[in-house]
A and B are shown apart, each in its own frame.
Chain A
Amino acid sequence: MAIRTDKQIQSRSFIALLIIFGGIILLLAAMILSIIYGAADIDLPTIWQSLTQFDPSLTAHQIIRNLRIPRGLAAALVGASLAVSGAIMQGMTRNALASPSIMGVTAGASFMIAVAMAVSSQVTTISLAIWAFAGAGLGAGIVFGVGTISKSGLTPVKLALAGTAVTSMLSALSSGIAIHFNIAKDMSFWYAGGVASVQWVHVKLLAPIVIIGLILALLLSKSITVLNLGEDVARGLGQRTVLTKTVATIVVLLLTGAAVSVAGTVGFIGLVIPHITRFLVGVKYQWIIPAAAVLGALLLVLADTASRMVNPPFETPVGTMTALVGVPFFLYLARREGRGM
């Protein structure tokens, strides 16, 4: 399932720039939309006032400042991280299906969340985030570890296989813990994923990691483009593939760990956005990574807003909304038999 590169090898810098800048504008619009819509409707002047002349005695201002803005920001950061992680994974492994949920990262985080909830019924949001972070590292560590220890090294197929195996094992363990300690229902909200209960403390945790991760990803992007041509080619071109892969893996861990720890398992963004992006901007990762970041952020902000509008005042899990967008697109790509897959 190697990514096909033939027709798309030409760069599409213009389209890429259009997507990045147009996307940022759309993203801002989407963020405003996400601040306006919700259980309590809020108009534009109020938003402006809450930013310029904050009045703590007004509920609307409180909602905007303490609920909606962090939520919108978190959605954007999580979306960008997952999309970029997916793009790096797919580029590095040349595996069309590589994505945080397939490579054991999400399952590892879920597992540690289950452990944390089983150990103590009163876990704070922030400690939960740290557990999830450790779990993401654990999952990915095992998967990459298996790939590295094995004799023939870290081949793409092997990574995908190891990811599937480790994911299955970790999810089985989480289910077991959840059923045994009777916390299945608590776990489920986390499985469903979402940024509904995000607070500023989450954003503060998330933002620096995501920014560092994105910068590293951009620095790596050229090497990933070369790596995507095949490891032998990359080595032939004088690239230090081991170094690239190591740094790329760390970036993926940082980004998905942070995203999953705040938003739970939001599926499909890491899988679908890189495909959409490659489809639009070609195969140069110098363009794919920033464009994927913007599109991922945009998708999750919109999905999160939609999740509040579908069945108010109840919230539909945002993972469902991303699946709603992701599945049809994925099926469309699959039917075309993999342009970009």
Chain B
Amino acid sequence: MISKTKRTSFWLLGLTIGLIATILLSLNLGTMSVSPIDVWKTMIGQGTDQNQLVLFDFRLPRIVIALLIGAGMAISGAILQGVTHNDLADPGILGINSGAGFAVVLFIYLTQNNLTSTVFILPLAALGGAVLAAALIYLISWKNGVSPIRLILVGIGINAAFSALIIVFQLKMDPDDFTKAQIWLTGNIAGTDWSYTLALLPWILILLPIAFFKAGTLDALHLGDETAQGLGTNVEKERIFLLVIAVALAGASVAVGGAIAFLGLVIPHLARKLVGARHHHMLITSALLGALLLLVADTIGRNILSPSEIPVGIIVSLIGGSYFVYLLMKS
């Protein structure tokens, strides 16, 4: 155990350093490159007005939101994998993302893209869709309790249903709205400002500690329902509670960042590989890894084809997918 803890500490330290380095790099890079010295000067309040604007109003909120969404999605995936005993579970596969996506597409369709109002209402719609999807999944899989396999199978079904509905409404849109919806569905955090960040922050700040606190329960559930029951866990109650946490995390993240695929699937795998399957170690590692991956992906997406941007969801899929394929080939 001690060596495990040591290993975890090592990785946590490494990841934190990596995060700080990436944040600095991300502040520095962009269509307008700001030199490290200028970044520092601006940070301590001695920068030019322009640098101040670029860093504080554009880049920093975007960096913070990438970190929040990355951590939120990763933990949501880790919880879902624990609860369903299935390493394939993530908000995307279970239909929570597509529920949110459906709500957003429906909203864009109904309002005919009234841009001024969507900035604040879109995330609310997404959250509503995520909750709706999760509630449907839970209700349909309920039958004297909710077994993990039923949950994931029902989730896949709900995912397909919402995906079909998304296409129906998307096809009725004019091309501009269509592309807008498509970008959102791919996952994108361009154009964020502090209001988004502040809207997301409380969710993450409240939900992440609760998730960490429940690590022991997740360990118990991961052993299987009967064993968990034997260990004195109220399986059904804990499962609902954890699902609510996972949905809220995914819903809030998706609301702000769009349906970023793959993060919730890959990060917990990677974390387990680094620090083992115990949730006490794995959850916190997942949070840091998720934040790091999303920030790296967004920094790449912002810069690689500058001045045009690649939605972060695409970069995440490419990085996450390659890693995943590598994992499979090695094992």
Contacts and interface: CB of A to CB of B under 8 A. Distances in A.
A152 B93 CA distance: 26
Interface in A32-48: none
Contact of A326 (B160, B262, B310): B160
Contacts of B313: 172, 175
Contacts of A160: 88
A330 B324 CA distance: 28
A179 B154 contact: no
A110 to B, nearest CB: 13
Interface string A285-317: 000000000000000000000000000000011
A337 B144 CA distance: 12
A150 interface: yes
Contacts of A229: none
- Interface size class of chain A, counting residues whose CB lies under 8 Å from the partner chain: 35 or more
- Interface size class of chain B, counting residues whose CB lies under 8 Å from the partner chain: 35 or more
Name, among A97, A151, A175, A335, the residue most crowded by chain B CB atoms within 10 Å (CB to CB): A175
Contact of B147 (A146, A158, A337): A337
A335 B182 contact: no
B143 interface: yes
Given A176-B311, A334-B141, A161 B317 contact: no
Contact of A268 (B160, B165, B311): B160
A192 interface: yes
A60 interface: no
Contact of A173 (B168, B182, B314, B331): B314
Interface string B290-331: 000000000000000000101101101110111011001111
Interface string B144-168: 0001011001101110110111011
A212 interface: no
Contact of B179 (A97, A150, A182, A331): A182
Given A173-B314, A338-B153, A327 B329 contact: no
A166 B165 CA distance: 24
B328 A165 contact: yes
A179 B160 contact: no
Name, among A166, A169, A171, A326, the residue most crowded by chain B CB atoms within 10 Å (CB to CB): A169
Contacts of A7: none
B265 interface: yes
A320 B308 CA distance: 34
Interface stretch (B6-14, B68-76, B170-178): B170-178
B321 A169 contact: yes
B153 A323 contact: no
Interface stretch (A66-74, A183-191, A213-221): A183-191
B113 interface: no
B258 to A, nearest CB: 11
B186 A175 contact: yes
B199 interface: no
Nearest to A316: B168
B321 A97 contact: no
B249 interface: no
Interface in A140-179: 142, 146-147, 149-152, 158, 160-162, 164-166, 168-169, 171-173, 175-176, 178-179
10 smallest A-B Cβ distances: which pairs?
Answer: A172-B317, A169-B321, A334-B153, A323-B164, A165-B324, A330-B157, A327-B161, A176-B314, A172-B314, A185-B175
Given A323-B160, A334-B157, A338-B149, 18 more contacts: A158-B331, A161-B88, A168-B317, A168-B321, A169-B325, A172-B316, A172-B317, A180-B310, A185-B178, A267-B163, A268-B160, A316-B168, A317-B171, A330-B153, A330-B156, A331-B140, A335-B143, A335-B154
25 contacts: A97-B156, A150-B329, A151-B330, A151-B331, A164-B265, A168-B320, A169-B317, A169-B321, A172-B186, A172-B261, A172-B318, A176-B314, A178-B182, A180-B308, A185-B179, A188-B182, A191-B167, A268-B160, A317-B164, A320-B164, A331-B154, A334-B157, A335-B140, A335-B141, A337-B147
